[in-house]
């Protein structure tokens, strides 16, 4: 637990430092690194499951897919068609580089990684650059979404340890309980409302603490599902952690898992206000 707490504090310090010193560019680059490292570990999981994805080129193209909105806004580079290009490239490669019994699995697992991780995390970039005229607003919305998603993990863990009795999905993640999930959602709603109140002068006027709490609830629920999806992948590969680069937590995919599904949902919900 001590290692987990230390790593969590260190990660938040890195995020805060990147945003404070490098602003929008720092946030975008941070998201790009998270996407590439998560994709690397994702492909390792699928390799362990015997699916033989094209990991190296997949990671490179995945980074471009995640950064596509920023590349277009900043440099005028149209990178929105990289996913389609990737499908063509990997469809050609499976013919000569994978045995007959691995071709479908190799293509499907590689493209799934690009869609599930690289494309969905792209919505974090979209949030960051959402208002070029007021860049601080995009950074705060990004922080708001990350805090809502990650504090759901914290709330669920603490509540589950304290009063957790009823297993949520024992065949996927035996330690998760319905009590913990409820506590995680409540904590996320509180965190979302608190940030909206503290940053009320910088955030959109319609994002009141009440609206923030209401939006945080479905985001927190989706974060729990997103975490379960990673657990399914790890069980398929018979691996406990996706990696070991973060002491007490595991790999980058163990950090980003709850952000993957919440990124597009948060983008859509925040656009409503």
User: pTM for this one?
Assistant: 0.93
Helix (H, G, I), strand (E, B) or coil at 1: coil
Q: Is the pLDDT of residue 244 over 90?
A: no
More confident of the two residues 203 and 174: 203
Q: What is the span of the domain harbouring residue 210?
A: 2-272
* 90-99, 160-169, 239-248: the lowest-pLDDT one: 239-248
Lowest-confidence segment of 128-137, 186-195, 212-221 by average pLDDT: 128-137
Beta bridge partners of 167: 177
Give the CA distances from residue 90 to residues 2, 61, 86, 197, in Å, rounded to whole numbers and listed in that order: 43, 11, 6, 48
Question: CA separation (Å) from 141 to 40, 104, 130, 138, 192?
Answer: 27, 39, 9, 5, 10
Q: Could you list the beta-strand ranges (E) of the chain.
A: 167-169, 173-177
Higher per-residue pLDDT: 21 or 225: 225
Judged against a pLDDT cut of 80, whether residue 102 lies above it is answered with yes
The total domain count for the chain is 1
Predicted pLDDT at 1: 57
Separation between Cα atoms, residue 102 and residue 104, nearest integer Å: 6
Summary mean pLDDT of the chain: 90
Q: Cα separation of 24 and 138, whole Å?
A: 8
**pLDDT top residue among 133 and 214:** 214
pLDDT value at 14 more than 90: no
């Amino acid at each position: 637990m001590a290692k987990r707490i230390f790593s969590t504090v260190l990660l938040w310090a890195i995020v805060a430092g990147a945003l404070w010193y490098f602003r929008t560019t720092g946030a975008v680059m941070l998201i790009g690194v998270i996407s590439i490292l998560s994709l690397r570990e994702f492909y390792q999981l699928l390799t362990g499951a015997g699916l033989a994805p094209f990991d190296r080129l997949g990671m490179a193209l995945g980074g471009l897919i995640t950064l596509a909105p920023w590349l277009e806004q900043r440099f005028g580079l149209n990178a929105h068609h990289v996913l389609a290009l990737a499908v063509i490239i990997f469809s050609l490669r499976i013919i000569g580089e994978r045995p007959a019994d691995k071709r479908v699995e190799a293509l499907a697992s590689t493209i799934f990684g690009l869609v599930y991780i690289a494309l969905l995390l792209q919505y974090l970039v979209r949030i960051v650059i959402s208002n070029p005229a007021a860049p601080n607003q995009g950074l705060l919305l990004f922080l708001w979404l990350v805090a809502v998603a990650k504090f759901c993990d914290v709330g669920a863990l603490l509540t589950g340890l304290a009063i957790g009795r009823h297993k949520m999905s024992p065949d996927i993640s035996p330690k998760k309980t319905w009590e913990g999930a409820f506590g995680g959602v409540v904590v996320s709603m509180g965190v979302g409302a608190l940030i909206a109140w503290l940053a009320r002068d910088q955030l959109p006027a319609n994002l009141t603490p009440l609206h923030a709490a209401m939006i945080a609830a479905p985001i927190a629920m989706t974060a729990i599902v997103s975490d379960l999806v990673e657990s399914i992948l790890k069980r398929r590969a018979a691996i406990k952690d996706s990696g070991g680069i973060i002491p007490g937590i595991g790999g980058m995919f163990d950090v980003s898992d709850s952000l993957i599904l919440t990124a597009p949902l948060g983008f859509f919900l925040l656009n409503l206000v």
